[in-house]
């Protein structure tokens, strides 16, 4: 008999936006010692944390199977029958980068995700099970902080009607120096997503700033936004907007819903219509009076 475990692992930027753990690596380990079934049932996903390298090396002999997640966060693992199907398994995730990070790590950072007993179903000569998990936004934000990468997501709506604005460009700026951090475009539902990394800030850490008469150091910027519809600015915030509580020292996973008034471009007249209008107004006759006026 063999085992086949398939599934998907994604992470929340916010309640309305999820991204796959693309190109991460999943590792399955045999259990170490007995596990209390009641403890497993109460909360197997509450201890997501990074594992020190010494601990990773110590449990390498218990490694059962590993595989890369694809661009959508999907994985497929198989192994021979080396344990009882009633036993729990340890599931770890390895990352050497996250979406939006400028650089990758020299080695993968490994995080313990879960200890669980899959719901196996027998199918001829193998056991089948499925597993899916979404990393909570607060946990994903902490991981993104380790990689020096930010993700901002939200929806752009019409300031008057509340209608979703499609295919507009959203730009995020650093209030400290008014430099562009990142840009993204809204989809058919008016939702956008943009990324930036620590290299967009001033050095590896931000410059010393003064706020409320006190000095402070922060590695996360205060952010304001601008929005463009077909190249025309429809929202032009300045640095003062970055003083909103949700914009100060912006979280590495942040939801920012925005409102703007879309551009209203006048329809350009066709060549013939424009020529007729110009002729009637006298512009064409003045430019070509030698052709149309005889003396």
Give pLDDT tens digits along the chain (295 positions). 788 999 999 999 998 899 999 879 999 998 877 666 655 555 455 567 899 999 999 999 999 999 999 999 999 999 887 666 677 888 999 998 898 888 766 668 999 988 888 888 988 888 899 988 999 999 999 999 989 999 999 999 999 999 999 999 999 999 999 999 999 999 999 999 999 998 888 644 444 444 444 445 567 999 999 999 999 999 999 999 999 999 999 999 999 999 998 866 554 555 444 544 554 555 444 454 444 333 3
E strand or H helix at 214: strand 214-216
E strand or H helix at 147: helix 137-147
Q: What pLDDT is recorded for position 185?
A: 97
**Residues 197-233, buried b or exposed e (16+ Cβ, 10 A)?**
bbebbeeeebeeeeeeeeeeebebbbbbbbbbbeeee
Half-sphere exposure of 229 (CA within 13 A, CB side): 17
Ordered structural domains, the chain, with CATH: 2-144 (2.60.40), 149-260 (2.60.40)
Instruction: Tally Cβ neighbours within 10 Å of residue 61.
Output: 8
**Residues 11-45, buried b or exposed e (16+ Cβ, 10 A)?**
bbbbeebbbbbbbbbbbbbbbeeebeeeeeeeebe
Q: What pLDDT is recorded for position 207?
A: 47
Enumerate the H helices of 159-292 as residue ranges: 271-281, 283-287, 289-292
End-to-end CA distance of the chain: 104
Closest listed residue to residue 220, CA positions, set 258, 247, 182, 255: 247
- CA 12, CA 94: separation in Å to the nearest integer? 17
**Given CA atoms 283, 286, 291, 295 in this order, what sign does their dihedral have?**
positive
DSSP sequence for 13-30: EETTEEEE-TT-EEEEE-
Q: What pLDDT is recorded for position 4?
A: 92
């Amino acid at each position: 008999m063999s085992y086949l475990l398939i599934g998907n692992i994604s992470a929340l930027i916010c309640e309305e936006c999820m991204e796959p753990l693309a190109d991460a690596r999943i590792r399955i380990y045999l259990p170490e010692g007995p596990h209390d079934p009641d403890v497993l049932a109460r909360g197997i996903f509450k201890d997501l944390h990074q594992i020190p390298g010494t601990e990773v090396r110590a449990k390498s002999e218990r490694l059962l199977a590993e595989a890369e997640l694809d661009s959508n966060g999907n994985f497929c693992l198989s192994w021979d029958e080396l344990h009882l199907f009633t036993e729990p398994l340890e599931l770890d995730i390895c990352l050497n980068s996250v979406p939006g990070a400028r650089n990758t790590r020299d080695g993968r950072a490994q995080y313990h995700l879960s200890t669980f007993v899959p719901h196996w179903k027998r199918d001829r000569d193998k056991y089948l099970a499925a597993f899916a998990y979404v990393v909570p936004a607060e946990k994903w934000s902490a991981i993104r902080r380790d990689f020096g990468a930010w993700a901002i997501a939200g929806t752009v709506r019409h300031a008057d009607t509340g209608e979703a604005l499609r295919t507009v460009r959203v730009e995020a700026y650093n209030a400290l120096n008014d430099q562009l951090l990142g840009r993204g475009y809204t989809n058919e539902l008016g939702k956008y997503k943009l990324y930036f990394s620590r290299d967009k800030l001033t050095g590896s850490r931000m410059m010393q700033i003064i706020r409320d008469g006190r000095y402070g150091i922060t590695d996360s910027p205060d952010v304001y936004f601008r929005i463009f519809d077909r190249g025309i600015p429809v929202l032009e915030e300045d640095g003062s907007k970055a003083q909103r509580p949700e914009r100060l020292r912006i979280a590495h996973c942040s939801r920012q819903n925005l409102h703007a008034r879309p551009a209203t471009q006048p329809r350009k007249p066709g060549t013939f219509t424009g020529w007729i209008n110009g002729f009637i107004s006298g512009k064409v006759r003045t430019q070509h009076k030698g052709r149309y006026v005889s003396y």
